[in-house]
């Protein structure tokens, strides 16, 4: 089940209506800080991006609509140029530089989507770009960033080290550092997704969007709330990298440590100062989803919608799967990106199949005698479990003299079929090891 963190858009010192205080007793209200990005900025960004960023498709999902009990549409930013929404903000940011700043070039740090967005945007604008990426960045993302025209430098094993190297390069060379989310131009560019949603689905009641540093969610909320304040905006974070719930509770950005999630696109330890102020004011609630939710969502996008989506991009779908009855429809879920390394995809799909009861791993012990394995496989054949792989261990200190251990990997048809397999093995006298 997804965790929900609603927060009302009330100034921090405004008393609750039911406080019982008289006007004379009320403390002074601190006026909210002005939002540094306006709907006019987003509209200008939209004009600027004409012919640069695609107006991505809006696809209906009958399966999700059935779960939610209302129409669900998928905003396919995974089909955007460079495979994610990042080209929008990167182009607006670089296009806004002065001639002198453009001459100095730009620099960015990213493990993937922002890197490609900056590389393409800079190339289109005739600006030299340098992108720092972690040493372990997936090779397809590194290759794509180079192909878009950036000089790629591999540095550090975590993004913080890569970021520090990019900032040092900016200080030494005068290149302009292009932050992935903490700048008003970036947010204005990402806000164009919100304008497209309102144009493509004017009846929308809820928009669900993944949150990392907050640039996309802030931009969408800003654009949508300015034109349709009745539309609810829900942010989604991976539970293992959820910096917004504690930050919203504290009233200011809070850094968290020990991030752990497959959704590297939203794996951010601290909200950006600029997007945080907008998210705090305009995003109605922030939810968290588990790794099981994310992998199931990615598998659903692939199987049902025929869309390749990265884990961060699938986070809104994960939220819908985790608690489908809590969303007012029509719903638009923003698929923010589709850049996923094939090797990671393979692992995630297997994880998602296991979470959905489509893949079952078992360990059990047999007597070390001829025909024992054949008898076991016969039991599995009767219950129609497809055997993907069999591991056979005969020499291990944990085994008895006449024992062997077998590890089975099976394709199954769902949770009920998994239970049927376990029951058949138990009835045949086998003990499954945990």
Residues identified as active-site: 86, 336
Question: How far is the C-alpha of 209 from the C-alpha of 211, rounded, in Å?
Answer: 7
Q: Is the dihedral of CA 365, 367, 371, 376 positive or negative?
A: negative
Spatial neighbors of 302 by CB under 8 A, at least 6 apart, are 308, 309, 349
Is the distance from CB of 260 to CB of 273 less than 8 angstroms? no
Give the angle 355-359-361 at the CA atoms, nearest 5°.
100
Q: 412 φ, ψ to 5°?
A: -125, 175
CB count within 10 Å of CB 318 equals: 30
129-133 and 403-411 strand pairing: unpaired
Cα 68 to Cα 333: distance, rounded to the nearest angstrom? 12
d(CA 118, CA 82): 10
- Longest CA span, the chain: 91
DSSP E strands: which ranges in 352-426? 359-367, 386-393, 403-411
For residues 190 and 215, the answer to whether their CB atoms sit within 8 Å is yes
d(CA 324, CA 336) in angstroms, rounded, equals: 20
Q: What is d(CA 300, CA 294) in angstroms, rounded to the nearest whole number?
A: 10
Q: What is the DSSP letter of 152?
A: E
Query: Residues 6 or more apart from 419 whose CB is under 8 A from it?
Result: none
User: Rg of the chain's alpha carbons, rounded to an integer?
Assistant: 25
- Quick check: 214 and 276 in contact, CB under 8 A? yes
Residues 208 and 231: their CA atoms lie apart, in Å, by: 11
Residue 335: phi, psi to the nearest 5?
Answer: -85, 95
Using the Cα atoms of residue 424, residue 429, residue 433 and residue 434 in order, give the sign of their dihedral: positive
């Amino acid at each position: 089940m997804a965790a929900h963190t609603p927060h009302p858009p009330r100034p921090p010192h405004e008393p609750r209506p039911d406080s019982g205080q008289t006007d004379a007793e009320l403390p002074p209200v601190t006026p909210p800080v002005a939002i540094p990005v306006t709907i006019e900025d987003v509209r200008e960004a939209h004009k600027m991006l004409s012919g640069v960023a695609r107006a991505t498709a809006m696809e209906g999902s009958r399966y999700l609509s059935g779960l939610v009990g209302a129409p669900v549409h998928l905003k396919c930013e995974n089909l955007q140029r460079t495979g994610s929404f990042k080209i929008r903000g990167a182009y607006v940011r670089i296009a806004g530089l002065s001639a002198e700043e453009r001459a100095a070039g730009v620099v960015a740090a990213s493990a993937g989507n922002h890197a490609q967005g900056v590389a393409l945007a800079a190339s289109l604008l005739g600006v030299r770009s340098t992108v720092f990426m972690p040493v372990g960045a997936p090779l397809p993302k590194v290759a794509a960033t180079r192909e878009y025209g950036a000089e790629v430098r591999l540095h550090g094993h975590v993004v913080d080290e890569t970021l520090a190297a990019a900032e040092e390069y900016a200080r030494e060379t005068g290149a302009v550092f292009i932050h992935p989310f903490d700048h008003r131009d970036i947010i204005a560019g990402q806000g164009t997704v919100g304008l497209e949603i309102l144009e493509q689905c004017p009846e929308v009641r809820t928009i669900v969007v993944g949150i990392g540093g907050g640039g996309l969610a802030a931009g969408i909320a800003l654009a949508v709330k300015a034109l349709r304040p009745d539309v609810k905006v829900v942010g989604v974070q991976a539970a293992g990298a959820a910096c917004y719930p504690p930050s919203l509770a504290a009233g200011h950005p809070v850094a968290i440590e020990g991030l752990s999630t497959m959704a590297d696109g939203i794996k951010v330890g601290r909200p950006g100062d600029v997007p945080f102020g907008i998210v705090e004011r305009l995003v109605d609630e922030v939810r968290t989803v588990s790794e099981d939710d994310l992998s199931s969502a990615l598998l659903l996008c692939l199987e049902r919608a025929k869309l390749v989506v990265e884990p961060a991009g699938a986070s809104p779908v994960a939220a819908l799967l985790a608690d489908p009855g809590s969303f007012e429809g029509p719903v638009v879920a923003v698929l923010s990106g589709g850049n996923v390394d094939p090797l990671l995809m393979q692992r995630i799909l297997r994880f998602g199949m296991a979470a959905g009861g489509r893949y079952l791993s078992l360990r059990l012990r047999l007597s070390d005698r001829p025909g024992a394995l054949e008898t076991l496989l016969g039991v599995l054949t009767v219950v129609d479990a497809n055997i993907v792989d069999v591991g056979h261990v005969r020499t291990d200190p944990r085994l008895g003299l006449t024992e062997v251990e077998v590890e089975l990997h099976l394709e199954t048809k769902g949770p009920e079929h998994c239970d049927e397999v376990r029951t058949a093995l138990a009835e045949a006298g086998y003990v499954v090891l945990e």
